Chains A and B, each alone.
Chain A
Amino acid sequence: MMNWTKWKEVFKNRKFCILLAAELLLAILCVTSMFKRQVTVMPPVDGTPFHLEAGTYMVQITYTTSQDTNVFVLEDTVDGTKAVRFGNITLGRGDNEENCELWVLRDTDHVTAYAINGGDAALNISQLKIITTSADSRIMLFLILICSALFDTLFIFYWYDRKYGISLQNKLVWSVLGVAFVLMSVPCMVDYNLWGDDWGFHVLRVEGLISGFRDGQFPVRIQGNWLGGYGYAASVFYSDLFLLIPALFRVIGFAVSASYNMFLIVINLATLMIAYQCFRRIFKDQWAGTVSAVLYCVSAYRIHDIYVRAAIGEALAMTFLPLIFYGFYQIFTGDRSRRGYRYSWLPVTLGLTGVIQSHVLTCEMLAFCILLLCLVLIRKVFIKETFWELCKAAVMTLLWNLWYLVPFLDYYLNEKFNVGHLETMAFPWIQVRGIFPAHLLFIFYGGGTKADMEVFGMNWTGAFSVGAALMLVVLAWVYLEFAARIGKSDFAGRKLGRLAFCYTLMAFVLTSSYFPWDWLQSRSKFLEMLITSLQFPYRFLAIACLSASVLAGVLLLYLRERGSVVTFGQALTGLLILALFFHVYQIDDLLSSHGIVRVYNKQSMGTAYVSNGEYLPYQADTSLMYRNRVIEGEGVNVMGYEKAADTLRMKMSVINGGAESYVELPVLYYRGYTAKDLNTGQSLQVEAGGNSAVRVLLPAGYSGEFQLSFQEPVYWRAAEVISLAAIGGGIGIFLKRRKRRVICYEEAKS
């Protein structure tokens, strides 16, 4: 679209330079305001209104309770969340200090702070401090940078169009993509989050990532904020790589709800851009790429995943599926004699890495699909160059993700967790969760949430379908096969179309409640493990959305070549209008009927939402896990200990007056915890105690202070180094290739 060497000339434009200068000045002002003097307010705790200026604060509450039933409230009694954003904080039992974020959007005289006593006579708030922070300056700086980037981009496009001209087609394509992006992100343009099944789980993971960094873990393996400080190995089993984005927003100073919405916007943008670039290259047609990308992004199932189920992992994985498809398309259909063919493994590796780092279950489905693809194209697989590219893709994917796969497999195969045990799974038999064929034919999906078909049928059902537009594409292809006999024509895309169609049909069949999942599961332990981990057959709709979108592109190419009654232009307009119409209908109903949640700081969201508890040690009971639950063995006296509410590191002073004994700590046991005496450096043995809590064995007569922390095994570190080296190599190859392409372009130009 643009000649990248020409766009640099924009820096010679005076107006642009003035704009840049103004933006820089604003940014400097924001940075300087970060160093403003801290102000501390000591307000009353009895509900008497007090004044607060607009800004961001840290609320420090020092208190004592004996139960977990007391709540601390800070609110604006007149303007509510339009002025003050805080939330209700549950005060954990014991002597504690909480540091909670507070956002005040406008100067107000009506702020009140008080505790709601849940029948606890011991409740006492000894101190309440409200301290200004620089989060507002950081937020402002971030917003200035984003707005500047947006303005600058628009200015550059405007300047380039005036000077060199941008074609109408390009403008239309980008306008359509822009409209689709805005419509997809409408549910994010509110000051709350739509409640989803996994919403709580994912926001806790984000907070867990931050607490893990505070613990000194890198990468984070055990997140210390879960279960009242007991910790949870979510990061080992569920990669947090992309959660760095909302974590960054949180560190900047955005509230939980705002960070989550911004993250969804980023996911939408990434999905649309990746899908567009991939489909455009596959079809070698801008419009076919645009329509396929839009249909993919606004498909009913994807929207349901992201906004109703809050299945962020799965939605993120869907971002990378087009890249994987593009990669395999290059490998199997690319010109093997071309020099660039030897880099064909790169998109596959990038895509698979994206999926592995987002949602391991999607990998399971992908593995099956890739195996099937290789079987179908078996003759091509064994062509030397193709085979070599496939091997490179497999090996590099493994190496790039070794840092995540080694700990995951180490725990999964060598330790015992709820995941993989039928009796602890919420859905041990998945066939009952399959969808009806009626789901696929249903087109007016709204904000329905129900997924238990055996109880509710299709009453208020979730959007378990590819959507009206993609369904029309599938039916259109059936027509071409049956009535127009496309198989006998010389249309170049017919093989790709057939492949995409077969994959779509296969995915439809696999999602169905009539597919014999239970029978398959009962055949062998291996199949049982694979199938139970899948949980819901309708996950295959992600594959169906991708393959149906590819089918849409092929259909448009067919019409471009041979369209008589319905032309290419009419078809693409019709498909776009259809897709966006039903998308808007779905979003409309979603926004008007769906439950919402407003959470601002981490303390007001609770810590117990482990979803189905897949990563808990086998049969650990979360109801017995509460803050500061220390169990002293015989003869042991705990003199004192220090542990933050949301980190794992703790220090404890003990005296063991008797024989060898132990102390059980309020931390969940995962292999890797170590306890070291702070004075002598002596290591104390750590094992799993009652209810899978960490038990530190104390030698007879031991007296001292020890520190508990999580240390990765050496081979985990080795895997991280290997991955780093492999990724570094990949980046080097990518840069080298890019340089070569620029050189080739310059040579061709001259």
Chain B
Amino acid sequence: MEVKNKRQRNIIFVLGVLFLYLSTPLTMDYIPASEHLGLYFLDKPGARGPFLYLLVWLQGTGLSRLACCRLYLLAANFMTLISSSYCFYRISGNVYAGMAGSFCYSFSVYSMYIRYSRGSLGEVTAFIFLPFLLYGLWELYQKPVSARRYYVWILPVSLGLLGVCVSHIPTAVIVLEFMFLAALLLWRKTFRRQTFLALTAAVAPVLLIFALWWFPYLREIPAGGVYADLESGLSFSDRSLPVTQMLLSFLGRDQNLGTPVAAQEYCGLGLPFLGILAAGLLWIILDRKRENTECKRTLGFLIGISIFSILLSTTWIPWSRVESLHWFLRALLEYVGYPFRYTVVAVLLLSVAVSLVGGMIWSRGKKAMALFLAIVTVLNVLSGVYLMNAQIYTSPRSESIDAGERYVEMDHLFYLGE
């Protein structure tokens, strides 16, 4: 009992410290990237979703815009940590491994980027639900179909997917694309009767609800483009990241990589994921003992999908050709908006990979686990924390939470797309 109590206290302590550090910029009297947050308070027609309405509601209670954004981000940070640590713990089977994965997920360069550089509150909200979605899918694919209460895993898939859809549409589009891809790659398991039924039961209602809710807004979105950036002449292809940027270890200070979109230079993978990619690939290729083949296959699958999603973020993919193939593809890519958004898949899957590795290391003893956690901490500090610190350090102080001119001039706003 004492051991269990101590373990609970350990968990609370670690999550508390992670929450404190993740919310560091919110302890100032201004928020970095506040110049991007003003649009959420505009009173323009457009799909906002239930979560982003919270901001407007909070403002209506008399709180300042700064306080509303601060509260929202605090809540989002807290929920992201809780959801990711719980889900990764359930996937890996070990609570400390789960927290390692949550650390990587919440402190990833991409997470810091959308939180404190881009101010993309919808995407930050979607980050809360992605682990649930993945957890549900994991259980549906890993559990034997004859398991008791197999269909209960429909719930996390549905709720996760619904949460993502009503938080951030580009992320929803990306997630659906990759769910489809994964379903095809794992076709043997996908087309088991029970799994197929479960997936259909999970996804279909969500898509239906979403379509019904989203359809009226379709007519409002002007033809020719969803994003204001298009008006400055940048196509989807133009917004890709150079491959070099995805391989950089220390993102945060100004880099001369020629990224066309402002602040995009802070988007990347970061050290923990570069590390797990390198370590995972080396292990898979070089390990001759042929033990843990199931684990190796899972890791290989996660790493493979991650690499694919990373490539989709970069200039290596001929997006202009893809766009020209069919109008549907073009429209779909317009909803995604920026290629770097595909990185979110890599962030999610590689965080799970970290948890799985942690789970394997746990079986080797406490000291090995302590070393593993120390390495994860160091890598996250050198990348995600470094980026957050650099953002705070180099961003000029801005108390203004007014929307940019380009948003003020638009007739309709794609709140769920920013």
Q: Chain A: residues with CB nearer than 8 A to chain B?
A: 436-438, 441-444, 446, 448, 455-461, 475, 478-479, 482-484, 513, 564-566, 574
Contacts and interface: CB of A to CB of B under 8 A. Distances in A.
B411 interface: no
B29 interface: yes
A482 B394 contact: no
B368 to A, nearest CB: 11
A456 B397 contact: yes
Contact of B10 (A458, A461, A483, A566): A483
Nearest to B371: A570
A438 B366 contact: no
A479 B12 CA distance: 10
Interface string B2-39: 00001001101100010011001101111000000000
B383 to A, nearest CB: 11
B186 interface: no
B332 interface: no
Interface stretch (B100-108, B231-239, B356-364, B385-393): B385-393
B185 interface: no
Contacts of B396: 456-457, 459
Contacts of B381: 443
Given A455-B397, A457-B397, A442 B24 contact: yes
Given A443-B381, A444-B386, A458-B28, A565 B367 contact: yes
B366 A441 contact: no
A565 B13 contact: no
A442 B27 contact: no
A482 B5 CA distance: 11
A444 B389 CA distance: 6
A444 B390 contact: yes
B29 A436 contact: yes
A565 B390 CA distance: 33
Interface of B: 6, 9-10, 12-13, 17, 20-21, 24-25, 27-30, 366-367, 370, 374, 381, 385-386, 389-390, 392-397
Contacts of A513: 29
A645 to B, nearest CB: 44
A457 B27 CA distance: 11
B388 to A, nearest CB: 9
Nearest to B386: A444
A484 B6 CA distance: 7
Could you tell me the dominant secondary structure of chain A's interface residues?
Answer: loop
25 contacts: A436-B29, A437-B24, A441-B21, A441-B24, A442-B393, A443-B389, A444-B385, A444-B390, A455-B397, A457-B29, A457-B396, A458-B28, A459-B393, A459-B394, A459-B395, A459-B397, A461-B393, A475-B17, A479-B13, A482-B12, A482-B13, A483-B10, A483-B13, A564-B366, A574-B374
Contacts of A448: 393
A33 B17 CA distance: 65
B95 to A, nearest CB: 13
A471 to B, nearest CB: 10
A725 to B, nearest CB: 53
B385 A443 contact: yes
B397 A442 contact: no
The 10 closest A-B pairs by CB, nearest first: A457-B397, A437-B27, A483-B9, A444-B389, A436-B28, A441-B24, A438-B27, A458-B392, A438-B24, A438-B28
Contact of B393 (A441, A460, A482, A564): A460
A309 to B, nearest CB: 18
Contacts of B10: 483
B9 A482 contact: yes
A441 B385 CA distance: 10
Contacts of A478: 13
A461 B395 CA distance: 11
Contacts of A482: 9, 12-13
A566 B9 CA distance: 18
A436 B27 contact: yes
Nearest to A481: B13
Contacts of B20: 441
B107 to A, nearest CB: 13
A480 to B, nearest CB: 10
A570 to B, nearest CB: 9
Nearest to B392: A458
Contacts of B394: 459-460
A458 B386 CA distance: 15
Nearest to B374: A574
Contacts of A444: 385-386, 389-390, 393
Contacts of A443: 381, 385, 389
Contacts of B374: 574
Given A459-B397, A478-B13, A565-B367, 18 more contacts: A436-B27, A437-B24, A437-B27, A442-B392, A442-B393, A444-B385, A444-B389, A446-B393, A448-B393, A457-B28, A457-B29, A457-B396, A458-B28, A458-B393, A459-B392, A482-B13, A483-B6, A565-B370
B34 to A, nearest CB: 11
A442 B374 CA distance: 19
Contacts of A446: 393
Contacts of A460: 393-394
Contacts of B21: 441
A437 B20 CA distance: 10
Contacts of A566: 370
Contacts of A574: 374
A386 to B, nearest CB: 37
Given A456-B397, A483-B13, A438 B25 contact: yes
Contacts of A484: 6
A375 to B, nearest CB: 30
A22 to B, nearest CB: 50
Nearest to B6: A483
A513 B30 CA distance: 13
A432 to B, nearest CB: 10
A585 to B, nearest CB: 10
Nearest to A484: B6
A444 B394 CA distance: 12
B401 to A, nearest CB: 14
A532 to B, nearest CB: 23
Contacts of A437: 24, 27
B5 to A, nearest CB: 9
Contacts of B395: 459
A514 B305 CA distance: 47
A47 to B, nearest CB: 43
Contacts of B24: 437-438, 441-442
Contacts of B385: 443-444
A218 B395 CA distance: 51
Contacts of A564: 366
Nearest to B11: A483
Contacts of A459: 392-397
A567 B370 CA distance: 11
A476 to B, nearest CB: 10
A438 B392 contact: yes
A7 B27 CA distance: 57
Contacts of A475: 17
Nearest to A442: B389
A483 B6 CA distance: 6
Nearest to B366: A565
A438 B392 CA distance: 9
A461 B30 CA distance: 14
A371 to B, nearest CB: 30
A436 B389 CA distance: 14
A412 B10 CA distance: 54
A587 B185 CA distance: 51
A499 B396 CA distance: 39
Nearest to A436: B28
A450 to B, nearest CB: 10
A577 B9 CA distance: 28
A443 B25 CA distance: 13
A458 B398 CA distance: 11
A410 B385 CA distance: 52
B2 to A, nearest CB: 10
Which has the most chain A C-beta neighbours within 10 Å: B12, B27, B396? B27
